[in-house]
């Protein structure tokens, strides 16, 4: 009796492995000499024989098909089921956030839109944070590293936190949308998420807020103000006051990328800084005279 054994090409296994590494946020991977040798062989075989043929090994006529252990095949084909209803599981904050992260990856309301890219970027930072920052959606660099706010806007955000006397690893940083919004022929260009994309992902950021219960929330930019707080209008009309986000005081300020686009214009920097001073007061942080005077026009 013949037994049907599914076969998987080594190159597909390699791609699966590399994709999983990227999803874990890895940007480099070490290939030992054995792996290099295998890749060289694959390359040569794909060109029609090369070294193997020269060494007397017959090159396959069509595609390269090599059977692998069945246990490996099972690992490769197993795909988590789509999730349509959010269930927060676990006891500790870490466990509860991790349960959200796993569900976000296969969250059908977002995936079925077909307008978001594959790679999920969830959140980063301290689950015990006193401050939570919420942006709109990951961009090119965030998708590449699998971490929110790690591109130029992220560097600016880290600088702002530093000026406040807060370390980046002490806050919790998230986005409303957990996937980079897609565009035609996308390279490094990013776009804002649509209202539909934000609505699809909103249950996650709301659940994150419920798990962390920070002492205050900072919405970064007008899109986050709209998506998270249901506000309309310009950032100027949203900022400079406290809003309520499920009982937690929330402040809207300009997005760090707007600061970059403005060429770090002093009056924009000062407005962001005034929002941050309000956050520091809310947290009962000491504020020095020097800090109070940051980014004021020179007399």
Which one among 122, 149, 254, 258 touches ligand URA, defined by CB under 6 A?
149
Complex with ligand URA: residue 45 or 190, whichever CB lies closer: 190
Residue 124 φ then ψ, to 5°: -145, 155
Q: Does 139 bind ligand URA (CB under 6 A)?
A: yes
**Alpha-carbon dihedral 161, 166, 171, 175, rounded to 10 degrees:** 0
Complex with ligand URA: residue 164 or 220, whichever CB lies closer: 220
Q: Does 225 bind ligand URA (CB under 6 A)?
A: no
SS3 content of the chain, % helix, strand, coil (to 5): 45, 10, 40
Q: Does 136 bind ligand URA (CB under 6 A)?
A: yes
Q: Does 181 bind ligand URA (CB under 6 A)?
A: no
Span 106-135, contacts to ligand URA by CB under 6 A: 135
SS (H, E, C) 173-185: EEECCCEEECCCC
Of 24-32, 94-102, 137-145, 210-218, the segment contacting ligand URA by CB under 6 A is: 137-145
Complex with ligand URA: residue 45 or 148, whichever CB lies closer: 148
Which one among 105, 142, 197, 208 touches ligand URA, defined by CB under 6 A?
142
Strands 123-125 and 179-181: unpaired
Complex with ligand URA: residue 45 or 145, whichever CB lies closer: 145
Name the residue whose CB lies closest to ligand URA. 135
Helix (H, G, I), strand (E, B) or coil at 243: strand
CB of 219 to ligand URA, least distance (A): 10
- For residues 268-279, b (16+ Cβ closer than 10 Å) or e, as one string? bbebbbbbbbbb
Helix (H, G, I), strand (E, B) or coil at 96: helix
CB of 296 to ligand URA, least distance (A): 27
CB 228 within 8 A of CB 134: yes
Residue 47 φ then ψ, to 5°: -90, 5
Helix (H, G, I), strand (E, B) or coil at 293: coil
Which one among 175, 179, 209, 276 touches ligand URA, defined by CB under 6 A?
175
CB 204 within 8 A of CB 104: yes
Complex with ligand URA: residue 67 or 189, whichever CB lies closer: 189
Span 62-101, contacts to ligand URA by CB under 6 A: none
Site residues (CB under 6 A) for ligand URA?
135-139, 142, 148-149, 151, 153, 175, 220
């Amino acid at each position: 009796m013949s037994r049907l054994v599914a076969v998987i090409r080594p190159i597909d296994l390699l791609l699966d492995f590399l994709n999983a590494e990227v999803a874990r946020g890895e940007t480099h991977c070490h290939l030992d000499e054995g792996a290099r040798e295998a890749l060289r062989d694959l390359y040569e075989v794909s060109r029609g024989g090369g070294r193997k043929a020269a060494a007397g090994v017959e090159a396959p006529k069509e595609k390269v098909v090599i059977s692998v252990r069945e246990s490996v095949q099972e690992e490769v084909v197993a795909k988590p089921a789509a999730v349509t209803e959010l269930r927060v599981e676990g006891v500790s904050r870490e466990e509860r956030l991790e349960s959200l992260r796993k569900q976000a990856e296969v969250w059908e309301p977002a995936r079925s839109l077909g307008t978001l890219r594959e790679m999920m970027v969830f959140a980063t930072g301290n689950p015990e944070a006193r401050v939570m920052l919420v942006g709109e959606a990951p961009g090119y660099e965030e998708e590449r590293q699998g971490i929110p706010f790690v591109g130029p806007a992220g560097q600016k955000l880290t600088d702002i936190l530093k000026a406040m006397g807060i370390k980046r690893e002490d806050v919790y940083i998230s986005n409303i949308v957990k996937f980079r919004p897609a565009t035609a022929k996308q390279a490094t260009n990013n776009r804002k998420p649509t209202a539909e994309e934000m609505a699809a992902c909103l249950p996650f950021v709301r659940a994150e807020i419920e798990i962390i219960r920070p002492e205050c929330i900072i919405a970064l930019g007008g899109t986050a103000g709209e998506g998270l707080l249901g506000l309309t209008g310009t950032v100027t009309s949203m900022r400079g006051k406290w809003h309520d986000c499920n009982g937690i005081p929330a402040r809207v300020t300009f997005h760090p990328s707007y600061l970059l686009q403005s060429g770090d214009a002093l009056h924009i920097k000062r407005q962001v800084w005034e929002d941050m001073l309000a956050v520091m007061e809310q947290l009962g942080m000491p504020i020095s005279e020097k800090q109070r005077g940051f980014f004021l026009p020179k007399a």
